[in-house]
Structure 1
């Protein structure tokens, strides 16, 4: 049973290791890199994040539920999810977790910002969802391994700017990504082909909008409460099913 557990979550453990290494390297470079260089690294990650967000968001255009276009479904999902997120104060609660960890482990600098930004960047996206499903269903961790390399590089840049808070996103990776992998077997019958399933494509599109928000925050163009939109990931497939009945 233990072997089966690690087989289904192998990609998550690889991801945890790369983020830990990336955070360590970023912290070592933090005191050796001038502030402008730290900023340019973060800006580079921010620009790439915008690109990934746009690419992911395009997935919603492949969805059609009856006569309702996927873009409309994504709009309803993101607005409804955002309202729920504000009602449940998800952003504030995540920040509270970050502040508690900062106090508990004496973090310095933008600990909370790094924790929230890294948690969202590493856990919201098609590679997380599809990779975790593949890992849990077939034991194939190829997608998550590729994602892990990208996250490790991003962790270097983020931790050099935000500090050790980025490393604590490992907790979110373990719970969220590992959890999806473990329950993937239950979803096998409902989602036989995750890569083309319209519900997954819609979730990917909505996730892309949130990644865009994260990129905007990294570039400090304005502050978007991205975490408040997280319920949209759950609302999207439900709205899709309702739309098909109309």
Structure 2
């Protein structure tokens, strides 16, 4: 297992670098670079959406999964954890940035999805678990290494704490890949990618401040889309 370790190291080192050199960043860099990362997230999302094979089950999974997320108040729970993480970090070190509580929580939830639940990370972990090729996760690590310092310059070391859920998610998917992928079809994986792309697109809108999509509440969709895709194919597509 190489990719999850490389990605975790990139996120952690990038966060520390952002805290150390963040005060030297100009106001323009701090305010404009997140918009660039949001644009990149939207672009990746569009590319992933383009892989869709069966649109109906993808939309159904997104709606049902988001509804489930709203019922269990997933985003609210993540926001509470984020607030506790910030409080704990601020007891240890001086905050790097000066952001409001609302802005902190909005950005932190978006970063959770971007770093931990993106289609690149999820599929890259599964692909390495099956083939031993960590290329996708290494590419993601390079992106995270440049993204983390910008956000850590304003959100502080709390960004570095995202390495824990990121490594847990990627490590679990890596270990489970041998059991999951043999049960999938190319169409199921394509629809999974498309669902992740929709969430990435929503994440980009949120990071750019265009629309505050409840991206954390949309995460359960990723667990539903492949079963829904398989069931839809069996009912309406299979001869």
Q: TM-score range by the shorter chain?
A: 0.7 to 0.9
Indicate the residue corresponding to 2:226 in structure 1: 237
**1:125: Cα distance to partner?**
3.1
Indicate the residue corresponding to 1:223 in structure 2: 212
**What secondary structure does 1:105 align onto?**
helix
Q: How does 1:205-224 map to 2 (within 5 A)?
A: 205-224=194-213
Contact 2:58 2:229 in 1 (8 A): no
**1:124: Cα distance to partner?**
2.8
**1:216: Cα distance to partner?**
0.7
Contact 1:114 1:165 in 2 (8 A): no
**1:135: Cα distance to partner?**
2.0
Q: TM-score, structure 1 length as denominator?
A: 0.85
Contact 2:89 2:158 in 1 (8 A): no
Q: TM-score, structure 2 length as denominator?
A: 0.87
Q: Point out where structure 1 has 5 or more consecutive residues left out of the alignment.
A: 1-8, 64-69
Matched, 1:51 2:43: yes
Contact 2:2 2:134 in 1 (8 A): yes
Instruction: Give the ranges of 4+ consecutive aligned residues of structure 1 lying more than 6 Å apart after TM superposition.
Output: none
Contact 2:41 2:204 in 1 (8 A): yes
Task: Count residues in correspondence.
Answer: 226
Indicate the residue corresponding to 1:29 in structure 2: 21
Contact 2:34 2:208 in 1 (8 A): yes
Indicate the residue corresponding to 1:165 in structure 2: 158
**1:23: Cα distance to partner?**
1.1
**1:52: Cα distance to partner?**
1.0
**What secondary structure does 1:221 align onto?**
coil
Indicate the residue corresponding to 1:141 in structure 2: 134
State the superposition RMSD in angstroms: 1.8
Distance 1:200 1:101, change over 3 A: same
Q: Distance in 2 between matches of 1:228 and 1:188?
A: 25
Q: How does 1:22-171 map to 2 (within 5 A)?
A: 22-60=14-52, 63=53, 70-106=54-90, 108=95, 109=99, 111-171=104-164
**1:32: Cα distance to partner?**
1.3
Q: Distance in 1 between matches of 2:130 and 2:219?
A: 24
Q: Deviations over 1:208-230 (max 9, x none)?
A: 11111111111111211100011
Q: Distance in 2 between matches of 1:138 and 1:72?
A: 30
